[in-house]
Amino acid sequence: MLSDKTIAIVKSTVPVLEKHGTDITKRFYQLLFADHPELLNIFNHANQSQGRQQTALANAVYAAAQHIDKLETILPVVKQIAHKHRSLGIKPEHYPIVGKNLLAAIKDVLGDAAGEDILQAWAEAYGAIANAFIGVEADMYRQAEEQAGGWEGFRPFVVKSKVRESDVITSFYLVPQNGQALASFQPGQYISVKMDIPGEKHTHIRQYSLSDAPGKPYYRISVKREDAIHGRPAGKVSVYLHEHVGEGDVLWLSAPAGDFTLDQEDTRPVVFISGGVGLTPLVSMLNTLAVTNSTRKATFLHAARNGNVHALKQEVEELASRSPHVSVFWSYEKPAQRDKELNAFDKEGYIDLPWLQKVVPTKEASFYFCGPVPFMQALNGLLKEWGVAAADIHYEFFGPTGNLEDAANANPEVAAGQR
């Protein structure tokens, strides 16, 4: 239990963290990887190079400082991050390493402003925060291993089939190499894929949503090929999966994780809205409603550049054709000529509030959405403008958790695009 003095000192650093948080986390990762380069086998290098991981950590540290006297208020965020940690293989022995380098980074960035009293208070606070994570993650590791068909760490899966879904997205159907039972999962969850790519110094781990319903004899992931664009490097794992991994090859997977899941106890109408490859967890949710013969009213909206990059379209349309409870609508930013000839979309341009209100029967529903961050920022703003209750808005970030509150600054040209 933290003392009142420690709590007061940590809270006094909140304005400093708001101003210098990202500088501290950037320095932290420099120190961490210099001291323990083996951790580069766990962390996503792309998120590091783009600054997303540093920003996410800065936000987490800032939130912890704000609520250090009531850490239970950030328990949902702790659980969300803990799911990712369990999926990646973060263990209790990693936390002292992180703590040491975080304190060193605070000292380096703040200099004399970080006196011994501040460093000592943060050391105590970090210990409390780390214990919270370790406790939550211990339960998650135990559940992942002890559930029917569960396992510890990473398990070998064979690519049973590889299916091209669009110009940029390919699905991989994965079955356990040993032929034994397959753990179930909640629709919306993801798995981690660990890969050793020839010529790469470090192991790469990437998390991919499971894109089909649970209860099947396989896991399916639908992966977008991330080519180099606008100065952003190509995705090493996604490109390797597309170009070099085929049927019969082996991939190493962690057990399913994640807290962006469909509430199957809710019987109210549900609305799924996706952009680009963000449709993968939502297709899993929609397919789950189908295989459970749910009578819940569902509306599925998807935004893509055009039909050439629209994955799983036929699968969703066939599901809707078999169910009177499901409606589907497509919004294409720049429809291809073939899309226009076939009348293959419902709206040209970006999702806006008038169209949303036209195709969604009611705002008294549960809304689940996923896609590029600008897309989600814009959509979050539309739902709030419509008056959708905050408790009915659910979303998933692909990668480090970001911020959807900057909706006013979301660029619609980016927002509606392919992830």
What are the catalytic residues? 95, 137
Which tokens belong to 292?
A: 């459970």
Q: Binding residue per annotation — 187?
A: no
Please give the distance of CA 214 from its chain centroid, rounded to a whole number: 19
Phi/psi of residue 135, nearest 5 degrees: -65, -45
Of 177, 176, 181, 82, whose CA–CA distance to 138 is shortest? 82
Could you give the 3-state DSSP secondary structure of residue 80?
helix
Helix crossing, 116-146 with 52-66: angle to 10°?
A: 110
Q: Cα–Cα distance between 288 and 212 in angstroms, integer?
A: 8
Q: Cα–Cα distance between 9 and 74 in angstroms, integer?
A: 19
Could you give the 3-state DSSP secondary structure of residue 136?
helix
- Which one-letter DSSP state was computed for residue 233? P
Q: Cα–Cα distance between 146 and 181 in angstroms, integer?
A: 12
Q: Binding residue per annotation — 314?
A: no
Q: Cα–Cα distance between 130 and 145 in angstroms, integer?
A: 22
Q: Binding residue per annotation — 279?
A: yes
Which tokens belong to 280?
A: 């993968």
Q: Binding residue per annotation — 109?
A: no
Q: Binding residue per annotation — 276?
A: yes
- Is 386 in contact with 356 (CB distance < 8 Å)? yes
Q: Binding residue per annotation — 277?
A: yes
Phi/psi of residue 147, nearest 5 degrees: -65, 160
Q: Binding residue per annotation — 208?
A: yes
Q: Binding residue per annotation — 206?
A: yes
Q: Binding residue per annotation — 419?
A: no
Of 103, 96, 128, 102, whose CA–CA distance to 118 is shortest? 103
Q: Binding residue per annotation — 280?
A: yes
Q: Binding residue per annotation — 21?
A: no
188: left (phi over 0), alpha (psi -120 to 50) or beta: left
Q: Binding residue per annotation — 267?
A: no
- Is 140 in contact with 134 (CB distance < 8 Å)? no
Q: Binding residue per annotation — 248?
A: no
Q: Cα–Cα distance between 405 and 381 in angstroms, integer?
A: 8
Residue ranges of the binding site for heme b: 85
Residue ranges of the binding site: 85, 190, 206-209, 276-281, 397-400
Residue ranges of the binding site for NADP(+): 276-281
